Amino acid sequence: MVASPCETVFEGTNGRYYSEWQVRRRLRTGRWNRCMRQRTPDRWLVETADEALLLLAPIEPDELPAGIEIRVADGRVRIVDTRRPGSDRRSAVRW
């Protein structure tokens, strides 16, 4: 087993996956607003830029489906869905 470079991987109710860095960046930049955080089990409810609610729940990195990759570059950990067209190009990834 290889150790994951990612502290926490979140699965969103929108079918997408996020690293802790991606979640915190979206919150810090105002793209998302945290509505609530439940501690047991740990879950976050956020409001997205289009005013939709998104529930995020942590999962184990080895539970990621095929085609979902953890990428590390410049000290940033991000989750990339290679099943989506253009998601493997840096310019297509929305931070």
* Position 6 confidence tier, pLDDT thresholds 50, 70, 90: low
Distance CA 40, CA 79 (A): 24
**Which pLDDT score is estimated for 29?**
96
Decide which of 92 and 8 is more confident.
8
Are 24 and 37 contacting, i.e. CB atoms less than 8 angstroms apart?
no
User: Is the peptide bond prior to 65 cis by the omega test (within 30 degrees of 0)?
Assistant: no
Range 60-65 average pLDDT: 92
The residues near 44 (Cβ < 8 Å, ≥ 6 apart) are 10, 23, 34, 36, 37, 38, 55, 56, 57
